[in-house]
């Protein structure tokens, strides 16, 4: 899955909707998913592919009951028990965090802890939290479906260049796994 999650907790509604419409154009033309964090109203207005729900957010069952046409529901989780619940609730995928140090977040689990937490998980799980381009191979080798990145791109002096560093690492890793 390649996608973008629109997550701007403090943005005014109109700004969030404008960004969502702009992102929808880009994601649609590139074949990527657009997910909106928490906001079903914005997800519907911008015709997003789905939503991303925080661990203490609305239950997936409630979303599916009231908005059955919303195709993709992803979740954030922090341990194997959370992943098991997400699978039971039919989440499409989960972000598991924090893998590495993130200011103000829980103690990082590291690559070994990530591998242990996702063992037996029946849904695609993406590593999140403090991941740098050089960490991509280790996270994928630990069983991740991929990675999710926020600060590594947003906080970079050149976000586009930072994004390409992640993509390059992923491409290198995928070509190695495919024997290319």
Burial 11-27 (b: 16+ CB within 10 A, else e): eeeeebbebbeebbeeb
Going from N- to C-terminal start, the domains of the chain cover 3-151
Name the strand (E) or helix (H) holding 26.
Answer: helix 13-30
pLDDT digit string, tens, across residues 109-167: 999 999 999 999 999 999 999 999 999 999 999 999 999 999 999 899 999 999 999 98
Fold type of domain 3-151: TIM Barrel (3.20.20)
Tokens of 170: 């992923």
Region 22-35: what's the mean pLDDT?
95
Task: State pLDDT tens for residues 60-112.
Answer: 989 989 988 888 999 999 999 999 999 999 999 999 999 999 988 889 999 99
| Residue 44 confidence class, pLDDT cut points 50, 70, 90 | very high
What local confidence, expressed as pLDDT, does residue 178 receive?
44
Task: Label residue 172 by pLDDT band (50, 70, 90).
Answer: low
The predicted structure's pLDDT at residue 147:
95
């Amino acid at each position: 899955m390649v996608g973008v999650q629109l997550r701007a907790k403090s943005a005014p509604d109109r700004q969030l909707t404008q960004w969502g419409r702009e992102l929808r154009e880009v994601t649609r033309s590139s074949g990527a998913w657009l997910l909106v964090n928490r906001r079903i109203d914005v997800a519907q207005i911008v015709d997003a592919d789905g939503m991303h729900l925080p661990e203490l957010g609305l239950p997936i069952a409630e979303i599916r009951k009231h908005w059955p046409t919303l195709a993709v529901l992803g979740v954030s989780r922090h341990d194997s028990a959370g992943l098991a619940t997400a699978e039971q609730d039919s989440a499409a995928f989960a972000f598991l965090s924090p893998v590495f140090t993130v200011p103000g977040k829980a103690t990082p689990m590291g690559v070994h802890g990530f591998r242990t937490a996702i063992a037996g998980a029946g849904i695609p799980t993406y590593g999140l939290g403090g991941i740098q381009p050089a960490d991509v191979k280790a996270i994928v080798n630990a069983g991740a479906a991929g990675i999710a990145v926020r600060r590594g791109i947003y906080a970079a002096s050149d976000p586009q260049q930072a994004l390409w560093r992640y993509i390059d690492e992923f491409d290198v890793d995928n070509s190695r796994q495919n024997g290319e």
